Amino acid sequence: MEELRGTIGAVVFRNDENGWTVLELAVESGDRSALVTAVGVTPAAAPGMDVTLTGEWADHRDYGRQFKFSFIRMNRPEGEDAMERYLASGLIRGVREATARNIVRAFGSDALRVIETEPERLADIKGISLNRAMEIHESYLQQAAMRDVVIGLSEYGITAGQAVKLYRQYGDRTLTVVTTDPYALVDDVEGIGFLTADRIARQVGIAFDSPFRIAAGIKHALSRAASEGGHTCLPAERLVAFAADMLGCEADDVENQLYDLILNGKLCARRVSGQDMVFLPAFWTFESEIARLLLDLADRSGRGMPIDAPRELEALERATGKVLDDAQRQAVLAAVDCGVMVVTGGPGTGKTTIMQFVLALMDKMGFRVELCAPTGRAAKRLSEAAGREARTIHRLLEYNGDFFFRNAEEPLEADVFIVDEASMIDAMLMYRLLVALPAGARLLLVGDADQLPSVGAGNVLRDIISSGKFPVFRLNRIFRQSGRSRIAENAARINAGLLPLLDFTEDFAFEARTVQEDVQRRVIEICRNGKLGDVWTELQVLSPTKKGPLGVHTLNRLLQEAMNPKERGKAEMTCGETVFRVGDKVMQVKNNYKMEWTRPTLSGDPDGCGVFNGDIGTIMAIHQRDRLVEVLFDDERTAFYSFGEMGELELAYCISIHKSQGSEFPVVLLPLCGGPPQLMTRNLLYTAITRARSRAVIIGRPSTLSFMVENDHEQTRYSALKGLLEEYSPSSQ
């Protein structure tokens, strides 16, 4: 690491949300001053500030040599010119260029001391009242305090951006809190995790076996279990062992602190299905309330049908020319009468047909129906299949990024709620949905229980099904293309533990390749020649892994080079390790409910807000002057991303199978050539194949394909919903 001291000449760019800043720094070198470009995170920066940066030099492909700083120390301005520039920077309320000049003329190099200790003297300057003088004083002290906090916290490896968050939370107490109880930061400040707090604790001398450390570590262990494994809870003995191993301390010490955390209400402990389970309070609330609310819905609904449903169903079959089999007919009739019901099945088994008939009967009954799905792409597919509007669950609940406007106090206004791709719903989202349902509503959950579980914590759909508390209709017969769909047939075979049929058909193919580099070349060749479909609109490459020669990262880089190479005059920008350029296929990787977009009026609403995890689009322009990236999404929405928001996008020539959940693509290309055994599982392969609507192509080793079909191992996902549903009853609540 290197230190660089200089005076800020200009702030070229600043992202106010995360503090990312590009500076021009005047650095004295002998009898000359050199301008240096410096980039990093800082809470405040303005021309004239004297700063010392700690970081290292780097060469940017577009912007040349830069100093990337990790820490910034704001020095007291030295000399009258520096003081004047600092005061005129805008950091201090009530001081602009003329005022700054007058203050420095009046007090010279003593100006900052006067502002700090004798602010009433400022009122002697023409144009500055006593009230204004005190405002200048207060603003200066605040900036000085923040500066001192940033400098002080930098010693503990805390970035300037994190320091600002801490200062906003604790004010003048920041340094005291950080040095005496750093583990409090984990609960109080978003973005400060256990590992950061633990590092600070070691630096300030907090003991390795401190009760504060162990208590924070237990909560961190539960958080890790949720984020990495999808667990809503852990058995007490497993939690103790996990936390003790993670913290490097004795199990007895962990047990003692765990007991105290439970007694003090910081954690919840309940016996569920014969096991003592420990929950973070939020997850206990989610699962216990889901159980209560589902059972309540099932109990209150189902009060008979105002129409002769069987006769109306027969009439619909005649009118549409579609004939339901017995299982489908039973499912439709149950759905219009049950309070809570589940329809599950693989591709081509008729789930969409059931929904269409249920919708028609609900319309006959005069019921208001809401259609929703967990992701934007799933909602779009549902809307196309149903011929009416479907929304994401977040949009249905009017979530604005901070708050769900639809809740128990402001419930939704409909009689029936049909939720597609229900396997993707985690515990938090299911809780939010159920809380907002009106009393007596009907709920139909539709999904494929054999797909991968939700990315977020919980095992909602499977727990609901296995509880035995609600009607569940499992669809096994394949209807797609009158039973001739090799995709659906092979998906069913994989799900049953049988090798797929590998004879080449129009909609399913397997190409044997045993060397990873050969698989790479073949994937690129197929994407390049376009014979299977355009890579931007029809063909989607899916990978089981993120790393390795056939992982998402490598394939995206290679496909970008092949499909959209660097060219003279083609604009591009860099975010982290990723180069984005005009023409790139990209995916939104987090929900952003505040992102504004526009769209041609002929294609729907002319403008709105919200882009969602899984939305795929193309970069249409990169505006260097305005530091904006223009992205056109599949549904003709155009959104503008600031350079600071580009971390929300990833290249999407290849995406992970996990990221593909809830989506369908005309053609799926799947490279398979080894991988971690714990990842290469049957349900991962099943999920990948079922993303293809018209054609699925696998390229790779026959041995890898066989291994995945045989590997039905699924990592245990601890949740309590099944047990709670089995144990609870509406009357007991």
pLDDT reading at 692 higher than 90 = yes
Judge residue 581's burial from the number of C-beta atoms within 10 Å of its C-beta, 0-12 exposed, 13-18 middle, 19 or more buried.
middle
Residue 192's pLDDT is: 77
Provide the residue type at 100 as one letter: A
Lowest mean pLDDT among 249-258, 321-330, 599-608, 702-711: 599-608
pLDDT reading at 707 higher than 70 = yes
**What number is the average pLDDT over the span 636-665?**
90
Provide the residue type at 553 as one letter: H
pLDDT reading at 363 higher than 70 = yes
What is the spatial distance between Cα 691 and Cα 363, in angstroms, rounded to a whole number?
Answer: 31
Residue 482's pLDDT is: 45
What is the spatial distance between Cα 541 and Cα 5, in angstroms, rounded to a whole number?
Answer: 48
pLDDT reading at 163 higher than 80 = no
Band (pLDDT 50/70/90 cuts) for residue 169 is: confident
| Helix ranges (DSSP H) in 90-210 | 97-107, 111-117, 130-154, 160-170, 174-180, 184-188, 194-203
Q: How confident is the model over 259-281, as pLDDT tens digits? A: 999 999 999 999 998 999 999 99
Residue 541's pLDDT is: 97
CB 631 within 8 A of CB 641: yes
CB 632 within 8 A of CB 620: yes
Rounded (10°) angle between helices 251-263 and 211-229 = 80
pLDDT reading at 231 higher than 90 = yes
Residue 506's pLDDT is: 84
Residues 6+ apart with CB under 8 A from 417: 369, 370, 372, 433, 437, 441, 442, 443, 444
**What number is the average pLDDT over the span 329-348?**
89
Sort residue 512 into left (φ over 0), alpha (ψ -120 to 50) or beta.
beta
State the CB neighbour count (10 A cutoff) for residue 451.
23
CA 205 to chain centre: 36
**What number is the average pLDDT over the span 502-525?**
92
Q: Across the strands, what pairs with 37?
A: 24
Band (pLDDT 50/70/90 cuts) for residue 156 is: confident
b/e string for 653-685 if b means 16 or more Cβ within 10 A?
Answer: bbbbbbbbbbbbbebbbbbbbbbeeeebbbbbb
What is the spatial distance between Cα 451 and Cα 433, in angstroms, rounded to a whole number?
Answer: 22
Tokens of 535: 């890579």
Band (pLDDT 50/70/90 cuts) for residue 605 is: low
Band (pLDDT 50/70/90 cuts) for residue 704 is: very high
Q: How confident is the model over 270-309, as pLDDT tens digits? A: 999 899 999 999 999 999 999 999 999 988 655 566 678 8
What is the spatial distance between Cα 597 and Cα 610, in angstroms, rounded to a whole number?
Answer: 7
Question: What percent of the chain lies above the pLDDT cut of 90?
Answer: 46
Q: How confident is the model over 558-576, as pLDDT tens digits? A: 999 999 999 988 999 988 7
Q: How confident is the model over 491-502, as pLDDT tens digits? A: 999 999 999 998
Band (pLDDT 50/70/90 cuts) for residue 159 is: low
CB 269 within 8 A of CB 277: yes
CB 37 within 8 A of CB 66: yes
Backbone Cα Rg of the chain: 30
Band (pLDDT 50/70/90 cuts) for residue 196 is: confident
What is the spatial distance between Cα 324 and Cα 307, in angstroms, rounded to a whole number?
Answer: 19
What is the spatial distance between Cα 515 and Cα 201, in angstroms, rounded to a whole number?
Answer: 49
Residue 666's pLDDT is: 93
Band (pLDDT 50/70/90 cuts) for residue 604 is: low
Judge residue 95's burial from the number of C-beta atoms within 10 Å of its C-beta, 0-12 exposed, 13-18 middle, 19 or more buried.
buried
**What number is the average pLDDT over the span 482-507?**
85
Of the candidates 466, 461, 464, 408, the residue with the CA atom closest to the CA atom of residue 439: 408
Provide the residue type at 90 as one letter: G
Residue 154's pLDDT is: 66
Taken as a whole, the chain contains a residue count of: 733
pLDDT reading at 422 higher than 90 = yes
The DSSP element (H or E) to which 21 belongs, if any, is strand 20-29
Q: To which residue do tokens 């505040």 refer?
A: 594
Rounded (10°) angle between helices 309-320 and 326-335 = 130
The DSSP element (H or E) to which 596 belongs, if any, is strand 592-598
The torsion of the CA quartet 722, 727, 731, 732, rounded to 10 degrees, works out to -120
CA 660 to chain centre: 14
How would you classify the pairing of strands 416-419 and 578-581? unpaired
Average pLDDT of the chain is: 87
Residue 711's pLDDT is: 92
Q: Across the strands, what pairs with 472?
A: 342
Of the candidates 335, 397, 326, the residue with the CA atom closest to the CA atom of residue 361: 335
Residue 13's pLDDT is: 81
Judged by DSSP in three states, 535 sits in coil
pLDDT reading at 183 higher than 60 = yes
Tokens of 350: 């008729």
Residue 238's pLDDT is: 95
Residue 10's pLDDT is: 79
